[in-house]
């Protein structure tokens, strides 16, 4: 009888512990926002690198290349997180969202 009661008690404690743990919230919007920021940064850095190359600033171009590489590494992490959250083609989706946001700005 003691074993049955003890087993039930442990079972209740275990189920109570599982009931209190929360699953981590998938923060798709935050990850998507970070991805869009990274995409914009890469585009901006590429424009600056092209201007540096045009003006003969080799050191500036190398610095921009480093920035581009670091932004792309950030993008890889964001893409991986978004794919785990079930977002298909996150970079393409971010590009489209940026495009639509830019079109809304031009219209007003």
Q: What is the pLDDT of residues 30-76, one digit of tens each?
A: 999 999 999 999 999 999 999 999 999 999 999 999 999 999 999 99
Q: Which structure tokens are listed for 73?
A: 């590494």
pTM of the model: 0.70
Residue 21's pLDDT band, with cuts at 50, 70 and 90, is low
- 87-91: list long-range contacts, CB under 8 Å, 24+ apart: 87/28, 87/32, 90/32, 90/35, 91/35, 91/39
User: How far apart are the C-alpha atoms of 44 and 49, rounded to whole Å?
Assistant: 9
**Rounded to an integer, what distance in angstroms lies between the CA atom of residue 66 and that of residue 87?**
28
């Amino acid at each position: 009888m003691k074993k049955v009661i003890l087993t039930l008690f442990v079972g209740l404690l275990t189920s109570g512990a599982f009931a209190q743990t929360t699953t981590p919230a998938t923060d798709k919007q935050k990850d998507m926002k970070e991805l869009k920021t990274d995409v914009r940064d890469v585009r901006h850095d590429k424009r600056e690198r092209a201007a540096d190359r045009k003006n003969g600033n080799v050191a500036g171009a190398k610095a921009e290349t480093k920035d581009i590489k670091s932004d792309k590494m950030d993008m890889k992490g964001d893409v991986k997180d978004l794919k785990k959250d079930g977002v298909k083609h996150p970079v393409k989706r971010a590009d489209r969202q940026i495009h639509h946001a830019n079109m809304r700005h031009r219209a007003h």
